[in-house]
Structure 1
Amino acid sequence: MITVADCERVQANWFRLRAERLGGQVWTDGPLTWVDGPDGQNLLFPGAIPPAAVARGVEHAARSGAPIVGAWLGLGADASALAEAGFERGWSPWWMVAPIETVLGVEPDPRIELQLDSDDYEDEYAFYRDHLVLARDEPPRAWYAAAYAPGRDFAGRAWSFLDGDIAGVFDMDVWEPFQRRGFGTGLLRAVCAAAGAAGARHAVLNATPEGKQLYRARGFTQIGEGITWWLHRRP
């Protein structure tokens, strides 16, 4: 049975992997684990939150110039130290899970491609191409898929990450002009199929209200929720 703790572990390991492979930092300070990577600086699922350790994390963000610091918590966490440090409560991730075989209950979409590199990212988005180094790791543990509308218009993307027999689905997005055309279903199936071929038995993700309807249609059920807190640093 997949639990919220499993979902939290998979996301924490995904954040760690991205930081380690893309030139970021991961460090612990007592019970706190901080990750400073492509998603910015984040505190990941602490059990206890000492004020002094929070202050040191905020100081690190000031030194590195991070404009936003995130904290991902379970529902039972005491966030008073974050509030005292100036964090504000944000959105609640909805943890959802599905058996891999359920997600694969639709035909593959020919508009979706698994890729090891990409020329879709240019100008201010050119940095994202570096992320695809994760898809080239051996043995494979992360998969990237891109969606294309007719005319080869880049329509969206998604990742999956294998942690044990669980595939985490991350960074899934279909650009607004291409929504409601089935690209989300195709992307979800593609990255889950790739992880399933490598041994994943379950898929997990955190959903926003916008995405929950798609995931429920593909067999995901909500098993819990979390809390996010955010510190927006002034220059």
Structure 2
Amino acid sequence: MVTLADCQRTQHAWFQALAQATGGRAFSTHKMDWVWLPETREMLCMFPTEITAAGLKPALSEAERRGASSVGIWLNASVREGLLPEYGFDPGWKPWWMTRALDLESVSKASDALEERIGLTAVVDDQVWLATARIKEEWAGRSYAFLPPEQDGKHLAGIFDMEVAPEHRRSGIGTSLLNALSEAAFNAGAEHLLLNATPDGQRLYRQHGFELIGKGQTWWFHPPR
């Protein structure tokens, strides 16, 4: 069984892996765990159980020093926002946590439907994959799958950063990306997939067997320039 805690832990691990791969960093400030992503210039706090001034102030100072474009707080739906409005944070989008079991039958069906327009790259062997869609050499979409190395015996892979070019939406690109990543993760030992979806995006995932197990919340601060 996949839990909300599993989803949150995998999301946090993904951002930590991104930070490590792109010259960012992860750090903690008084019960708040942060990740700095230099490519998107985002400072993110991942699922704190308590919002404190002692946790916020040094991270906001670090975000200002690094020229962050945004500071985001990812929260479990049961955690109150506390001091966030006082520090200029506004409520943002709500992640829909969704999961799906992987088995040989479902992956075999997906494999039969794979198309030549999808390219798959193992960024890190048996851990990170990038699926890229191209139509007549034109970039059409991409997504990642991530199988964290340490999961206390669980075999969960996350689907992250799904993006389809506006002009190629509703053409099956999202399905093809998902199929390619599902097969790669399954072959590496994943038994379940998990992801966070937007209210619009969840329609695609429901069509492919994903079930909603809970919702989260985000809060965002955009430093003045």
TM-score for both structures, normalised by structure 2: 0.91
Partner letter of residue 21 of structure 2?
Answer: R
Structure 2: which 5+ residue stretches go unaligned?
none
State which of 77, 91, 94 in structure 1 corresponds to 2:93: 91
8 Å Cα contact 1:69-1:231 kept in structure 2: yes
SS, match of residue 52 in structure 1: helix
Q: Distance in 2 between matches of 1:66 and 1:173?
A: 23
Is the CA contact 1:19–1:25 (under 8 Å) kept in the aligned structure 2? yes
Question: CA contact under 8 A between 2:29 and 2:54: conserved in structure 1?
Answer: no
TM-superposition CA deviations, 1:86-108 (whole Å, max 9, x none): 11111100000001237634322
Structure 2 match to 1:233: 223
Q: State yes or no: 1:44 paired with 2:46.
A: yes
Q: 1:191 aligns with which of 158, 169, 181?
A: 181
The answer on whether the counterparts of 2:115 and 2:176 sit within 8 Å (CA) in structure 1 is yes
1:52 partner letter: A
C-alpha distance in structure 1 between counterparts of 2:115 and 2:224, whole Å:
45
Letter of the 1:207 counterpart: A
Name the residue aligned to 2:27: 27
Q: In 1, are the aligned partners of 2:97 and 2:214 still within 8 Å (CA)?
A: yes
Which position in structure 2 is the counterpart of 1:140? 126
Q: CA deviation at 1:231?
A: 0.2
Maintained 8 Å contact 2:11/2:158 = yes
Letter in 2 for 1:100: L
Counterpart in the other structure of 1:109: 115
Cα distance between partner residues in 2 of 1:110 and 1:218? 20
Q: Given the superposition, is the C-alpha separation of residues 180 and 35 from structure 1 closer, same or farther in structure 2, using an over 3 Å criterion?
A: same
Query: Matches of residues 1-235 of structure 1 in structure 2 within 5 Å?
Result: 1-37=1-37, 38-39=39-40, 40-101=42-103, 104=107, 105-106=109-110, 107-115=113-121, 135=123, 137=124, 139-149=125-135, 151-163=136-148, 164=151, 165-235=155-225
Q: Tell me the distance in 2 between the aligned counterparts of 1:195 and 1:207.
A: 19
Q: Once the two structures are superposed, what CA deviation does each residue of 1:49-76 show, in whole Å capped at 9, x if it has no partner? A: 1122111111111111102101100011
CA–CA distance in structure 2, aligned partners of residues 62 and 153 of structure 1 = 37
Amino acid at match of 1:174: V
TM-score with structure 1 setting the length: 0.87
Question: Structure 1 residues 212, 103: CA separation in 2 closer, same or farther (over 3 Å shift)?
Answer: farther
Give the letter for the 2:127 counterpart.
Answer: R
Letter in 1 for 2:146: F
CA apart distance, 1:28: 1.0
State how many pairs are aligned: 214
Partner SS, residue 73 of structure 1: strand
CA RMSD of aligned residues (A): 1.4
- 1:112–1:187 Cα contact (<8 Å) kept: yes
CA spacing shift, 1:87–1:219, aligned 2, 3 Å: same
Relative to its length, the structure with more helix (as a share) is: 1
SS in 2 for 1:33: strand
Q: In 2, distance between residues paired with 1:103 and 1:178?
A: 25
Gaps of 5+ in 1: 117-134
